[in-house]
Structure 1
Amino acid sequence: MTPSVNLYAWAVPAWSSESPVDHTWVTSYDNQVHPYSTIADVVVAGQSFWYCWGSFHPQGGTPINPTGALGQQSGNLKLAQCLVQPNADSNTTPAARGKIYTYGVDGVCHQLANQVLYATANGSVPPLTVSKARGYPLSSFIYGTYGLQQTAWAAKVASCSGAQLVARLARPGGLTVVAGGEGIAVDEFERRATEVLATEPAKLASLLRLRGEVQRFAAQPWPGTGQPSAEALNARNQHLIDEAAKLLGPEHFRKLFGAEPGAKVTLVDPRTAATAGEFPPPKPR
């Protein structure tokens, strides 16, 4: 019998209390009820904690969300554990990175948390995501829901669950992943943009075209060897977000992204990027 448990998504401010972006992670337990103080305590209790490119946090909490709770949903525990290894630091354990091989290049904590939470999909019920985290609309604009390693992610889901996912070009050019045939589309950004720009189809088409260009650009291998710096990644991301602001105008940008046009955005944590190893070596995407 497939073990079903509630999976919980959490947030804390990313890399400073003033940050407008949240770090996210996932647990198999409610940390408001069981605030385990160490990862060793989690393991002894037979529970799972997914680091998601962060450190261990007994509990969550942000300036606008006292508990840091982003949602909970019943899921397949074995599937979640297969997709991303729990109770292991993403910096030192490749299997704990899911298909976010290179932090800041393939995605950030939001996309890795979503990979764990994919295990909460059930038939017509879409999987839980960390969409309530601050900064999520910005990260999903660039990295999508599950990161830029689309083909590798689809293959991982197939190997862990038997479900077939297909990496395809979203309308009219962004990358997305869909369950085979008539399955659930999982590109949240496109869905939200369609809602916000419902009365402006030409602007929506232009935004999605830009987003397709953004994702193709972001997925290109970096020149040279080694991982690009957080400064370089954040500068690139800032440029792409500023281009969206120019296209949308202030009102639509605020509504879609939850941020002010021109605001400095730091999606990639410099500390995490500085310590993140890369596995496997980068390959053409």
Structure 2
Amino acid sequence: MTLTGILPLYKPKGVTSHDCVMMARRWLRTKKVGHTGTLDPEVTGVLVLCTGRATKVAEELTGWDKTYEAVVALGKSTTTEDAEGEVVEENQEALQRIREQDIDEALQTFTGLIEQVPPMYSAVKVNGRRLYEYARAGETVERPKRSVTIQNMERLTPVSEDENGKYFRIRLTCSKGTFVRTVAVDIGRYLGVPAHMAQLERTASGPFTTADCVTTEDMDQTEKPGQRLLPVTDALQHLPAVALNETTAKQIGHGAVLDKATLNTDQDKVLLTYKGEAMAVYATHPKQQSRLKPAIMIDPELPGRA
């Protein structure tokens, strides 16, 4: 039987998100594994995977806020906005006038609703092509601005300095679609110096943190992977939950549309559970605002197995 659940994985540096999915498939002995948002190969941290029936909720989870810790490097900018690119500008002299209070002021400036221009080396599509395809072909294209939200951002370390520039570590929590390397570049631009992101770790994705993660070493050492899976309900904590009795659960199993009053809720989207397990996500009917219809059928056969 295919295992169902949520697997927060700590992605190591140097592997792709797809590589991690393949590792999980081998470990869990199933092809039914998907992720809730990729990490670049050089980025480490929390990569949340879904397996079995939990793959049905993967799209629901992609909108999570995420928390990162990044090292911002002042003094050099690169083609890719991170340490992997070629240096395109360098200015060490301007660094001498920058104080820690200037940096903290910059962090506050980029907190809240901001606009970003996505990096040329990114998977954002413009006119049907990904930006990195234009970049690799040596072509330029106008990149549309996008609005993102940085809930909070703080400096974690004193500013250090060597012959290559000044460095400091920040922590930020941000909305889906935020490019942290662009945040680093924009901080430098505010300070009047070239900058790039030297290092990045995702420390939380939605409710899951590094403390919840399985590592690739765990995969090598754990013989019963099912014991490391978390229940689907853990990933859907952002939704109000409604516990069903057996009669209503059987109706849900057949895809019934129900009155909100029947479920004793006035919410637009709810998680329906039966005996503590996730059964379905229901959302307001587009033509009948007082009723809820199926949005995601996670486990419609649950009442029959219970």
TM-score (norm 2): 0.23
Q: Which has the higher strand share?
A: 2
Q: Which has the higher helix share?
A: 1
* Bigger radius of gyration: 2
